Structure 1
Amino acid sequence: MSILQSPLTRKLSAFVALSEADLETLARFHRRRRTFLSGHEMIHEGQVNASAYVLAEGWACSFKMLPDGGRQIVDFQVPGDFLGLRSILFRTSDHSIEAVTPIEASEVLASDILDAFSDAPRLATAVLWAASRDEAMVVEHLVNLGRRSAEERMAHFLLELSARLNLVGMGDRTGFDCPLTQYHLADALGLSAVHVNRVLRHLREDGFVTFQKGRVTFDDFGRLTDLAGFDTGYLDQEGPLLR
């Protein structure tokens, strides 16, 4: 895959029109390609001197473990996302990251990021945009957990995934392929797996969305958007701001 076709390039291009120099610097992020099996813990909480990764293929999740063995999934990562960017800036990793599916990712060292910031300021701005966008999503996830009903929570989550995948050419208003299980959804949305099953059934029966056999299909995108109160403004992906 050329750097122009990479999911990360497509994602960052939503914020800044990348120059040839930016693309050359970005290509250096992809030098150390690695593969991981489903279930592999790529970064663990408390790890020192962890690497970060750029996800090229597959899905991952970031999470925190609780003392009782419970797990709160903070977010899911899709192609084009950074994995563990804070882990190379903090002394120790504050969260864990696990491969949800078999994945391909490029290992990124702290020196790669710092050199990019020095050599390509516009690219550095785009990386900062990506990190800020991730923070904005976490804010929405907090609202999801604290103030939205189970149905609204699920609707908002699926619409956000759709928008993120659409940015890298993997989804549209009709739907998207999704490898997540009901247990993943439960750990992300603060629901039990039984409750997740019930919510998905209600949304399907009411003609909003169908999630079956690894595929999310939007049966009525407009009504689902209204149900969730979903506004893509916080994702900030309507086109390059810097040219």
Structure 2
Amino acid sequence: MISSTEVVVKKLKCYIDLTNKELDTFVSLPSRLVTFEAGREIVHEGQQAHKAFILLDGWVSSYKLLPDGTRQIIDFQIPGDFLGLRSLLLRTSDHSFEAVTDVSIAEVSAQNMFSVFAESPRLASAVLWAASRDEAMVVEHLVSIGRRSAIVRTAHFLLELGARLNLIGVGTKDGYPCPLSQYLLADALGLSAIHINRVLRQLREQKLLTFQKGIVRFDNFEKLIELTDFHVGYLDQDGPIIKN
């Protein structure tokens, strides 16, 4: 049983109004709860586990390592996010997951997931929505790394994190708690830690955004939106598409 489904349900309800029966089915989905300390690897690239996970508490990074030891972070997962859904269909995991903070995770086997999909097609469509939304974010990150300037991509990424966290009741339009180091941000944004430091200083000096002591503060939210041309539509969290 999942110990707390609140954040997961908040996310899925952006797509569909789940019935009480569907909620009960979802709660019974995981086979066990596991915890990992910060810095621990959860899944490594190439692992043949055929399991997925639901992040209940804490932050996780998903990444790929290159032969020279450098790392490209694909994204950060926050409470309510799924980890490794593709691993249920692919024979091996195509990237790794590591705990950024201490985390609590619900483990889901392929057999349990497919049984639930067969029993509840509406719930299956909600999980497919979550996977599609994650893909939309990866596309946006690709655009940032390929075409946006360092200051725009950094601000855009922090705005995106804010919108995602706001959905699950963390933070406000003014800002949010963020455990990410400059090294983690650098690996996510394709920049060096020195460059990230410089960009954050520029954003602070321009009185747009401040990221200090684990807190992201939006000093001028409207100008940040204008600078980054940030549109929340790709996160698709305006309300349920499918209703009871």
Q: TM-score band, normalised by the shorter chain?
A: over 0.9
8 Å contact from structure 2 (residues 174, 218) kept in 1: yes
8 Å contact from structure 1 (residues 43, 50) kept in 2: no
* Deviation, structure 1 residue 31: 4.8
* Deviation, structure 1 residue 65: 0.2
Q: Secondary structure at the match of 1:143?
A: helix
Provide the C-alpha distance between the structure 1 equivalents of 2:29 and 2:225, rounded to a whole number of angstroms: 36
TM-score with structure 2 length normalisation? Answer: 0.96
8 Å contact from structure 2 (residues 30, 112) kept in 1: no
8 Å contact from structure 1 (residues 163, 171) kept in 2: no
Q: Secondary structure at the match of 2:91?
A: coil
Q: Secondary structure at the match of 2:194?
A: helix
* Deviation by residue 1:26-85 (Cα, 9 ceiling, x = unmatched): 101345111100111110000012421100000001000001000000000000000111
Question: For residue 62 of structure 1, what is the aligned residue in structure 2?
Answer: 62
Question: For residue 124 of structure 2, what is the aligned residue in structure 1?
Answer: 124
C-alpha RMSD of the superposition: 1.4
Question: For residue 47 of structure 2, what is the aligned residue in structure 1?
Answer: 47
Question: For residue 177 of structure 1, what is the aligned residue in structure 2?
Answer: 177
1:241 aligned to 2:222?
no
Question: For residue 92 of structure 1, what is the aligned residue in structure 2?
Answer: 92
Moved over 3 A (4+): 1-5
* Deviation by residue 1:144-186 (Cα, 9 ceiling, x = unmatched): 0000000000011001001111111112211110000000000
Provide the C-alpha distance between the structure 2 equivalents of 1:132 and 1:70, rounded to a whole number of angstroms: 28
* Deviation, structure 1 residue 86: 1.0
* Deviation by residue 1:212-233 (Cα, 9 ceiling, x = unmatched): 0000011011100111110011
Give me the identity figure in percent: 58
Residue identity opposite 1:220 in structure 2: N
Provide the C-alpha distance between the structure 1 equivalents of 2:204 and 2:47, rounded to a whole number of angstroms: 42
Question: For residue 192 of structure 1, what is the aligned residue in structure 2?
Answer: 192
Q: Secondary structure at the match of 1:191?
A: coil
Q: Secondary structure at the match of 1:29?
A: coil
Structure 2: stretches of 5+ with no match in the other structure = none
Structure 2 matches for 1:184-223, cutoff 5 A?
184-223=184-223
Question: For residue 136 of structure 2, what is the aligned residue in structure 1?
Answer: 136
8 Å contact from structure 1 (residues 4, 10) kept in 2: no
8 Å contact from structure 2 (residues 52, 109) kept in 1: yes
Question: For residue 76 of structure 1, what is the aligned residue in structure 2?
Answer: 76
TM-score with structure 1 length normalisation? Answer: 0.97
